[in-house]
Amino acid sequence: SDRKVGLCSCLEVVSTTSVTWNVKKTGYGNGENFQEKTVWIIDTGVALDHPDLNIDTQRSQSFISGITTAEDNNGHGTHVAGIIGAKNNTLGVMGVASGAKIVALKVLDQLGEGRLSSVISALSYIRQNGKAGDVVNMSLGLEGISTTLDREVQTAANLGILFSIAAGNDAKLASGFSPARLNHSNIFTVSAVDSTGRFASFSNYGNDAVDVAAYGVRILSTYSNGRYAILSGTSMAAPHVAGLLLIKGINIPTSGTASNDPDGVPDPIARASKTQVAAAVVNN
């Protein structure tokens, strides 16, 4: 039977104009310099007309039966998109790769639930339309192993497409979750740390699966209806890495390690040792 995939998050809606602490600490660059590359977001869709995002609406689409648009009626995918690529302008926040070209692939509904077959279809679409150097963000997954899902992700990774995948929010070994469990030079499974670099209590762990940690606690980003919100989860950590992958390729910068990592081998934290990955004038 078709398995359900899902996500989790806690919400607080706010208004803002700033470069957020997490982007400052991660480092950032001008995603507008990388328009030949695409960031594919497999999620709840993205707010297609959010003024702070650069969405390729032509290639965005829904893979949910009966839903014809990639519009986000949950907020999760839009939040992910902003962490990756919110524009460097006078609005709201700025992403790690500001102004990055984003394609929204909707596989999760307004409740943040969806079917494995939708995710497989989205991955097939990326394989047909993406190219080496493109980045896919998967802030979703399922508990248990799906060899079909894993195979689809690996096939795309073999083409040179880069993946940032949330480790999961169950405080368990990530090796028990697809596609987080995958090991491949083009696939990065991401655990979450808070602003102090302490391992998030909810984050999945395990060095056989997790490649890197990133900020994922109380992250401010774009949200549905042109708004901004604070969410927590490995869903928020993965897009920091996706932004770095767009700018730097697989040689993403890391600095320091997570404290309190439950597996005893601390994950390196995805961030530049200096405040910037590449020169960017700050959201003014």
**Catalytic annotation, residues:** 43, 76, 235
- The alpha carbon dihedral of 20, 23, 29, 34 has a sign of negative
Cα separation, 50 vs 46, whole angstroms: 8
SS (H, E, C) 156-185: HHHCCCEEEEECCCCCCEHHHEECCCCCEC
The greatest distance separating any two alpha carbons of the chain, rounded to the nearest whole angstrom, comes to 50
Phi, psi of 212, deg, nearest 5 = -160, 155
Specify the DSSP element, H or E, that contains 81. helix 76-85
- What is the pairing mode between strands 228-231 and 219-222? antiparallel
CA distances from 78 to 56, 81, 108, 111, 186 (A): 13, 5, 12, 14, 24
